[in-house]
Amino acid sequence: MPVTIRPRHDADIPALAAALVRVHALDGYPVEGVADPEAWLRHPNEMQSWTAVDDGTPIGQITLSRAVPDDDAARIWHEQTGGDVERLAIPVRLFVDPEHRGSGAGRLLMEAVTDFARIRGLAIAFDVMTKDRAAIRLYERLGAERLADITHHFGDGLTEPAAVYVIG
């Protein structure tokens, strides 16, 4: 049975949190860590979240968030395009369980986000850590264009090289 995408349900959170812990152990994503993976999945500016499902099991997810002016991606996007941040959406919290990579789930999740945003007339920009090369390859295959290189600040004075991308 192929991977399917549907809106995320609260019942998906425990399985997705377990998958996120496996992703972090393998890839170091998210860089902020996974001390409370269930809380991390619930983004404060969430517009909509989707779950990738394989044979009834949640294997990955993505959230589309409302942009706020102090988001790195929103700031760079505004500087580069002059666009209104109120018309910008930011995909966040994208991951696929390592056991299911190569299934097409990441592409399908990104397509769900872009379709949702386009129907609502929203632009899409986001940042990605440059260490996450597989994610960058996916985004570029989907037509994302790199706007700028930045430094992501997190934790207690920690930094990570990142890039801001825009789709469409």
Pair 125, 161: CB distance under 8 Å: no
For residue 70, the one-letter residue type is: D
Position 155 scores a pLDDT of 81
45-72 pLDDT per residue, tens? 999 999 999 999 999 999 999 999 999 9
158: tokens are 């920690």
Which residues 6+ apart lie within 8 Å of 12 measured at CB?
51, 58, 61
Domain count, the chain: 1
Interval 104-124 mean pLDDT: 97
123: tokens are 């632009």
CATH number at residue 119: 3.40.630.30
The pTM assigned to this predicted structure is: 0.95
68-99 pLDDT per residue, tens? 999 999 999 999 999 999 999 999 999 999 99
Task: Inform me whether the pLDDT recorded for 11 exceeds 90.
Answer: yes
Position 17 scores a pLDDT of 97
Task: Inform me whether the pLDDT recorded for 1 exceeds 80.
Answer: no
Residue 3: C-alpha distances to residues 96, 139, 143 (Å)? 11, 19, 22
16-25 pLDDT per residue, tens? 999 999 999 9
Range of 105's domain? 4-167
120-166 pLDDT per residue, tens? 999 999 999 999 999 999 999 999 999 999 999 888 888 999 999 99
> pLDDT band for position 32 (50/70/90)?
confident
Task: Inform me whether the pLDDT recorded for 33 exceeds 90.
Answer: no
Sheet containing strand 4-7, edge to edge, reads 4-7, 46-54, 57-66, 88-96, 123-129, 158-167, 145-154
Pair 129, 161: CB distance under 8 Å: yes
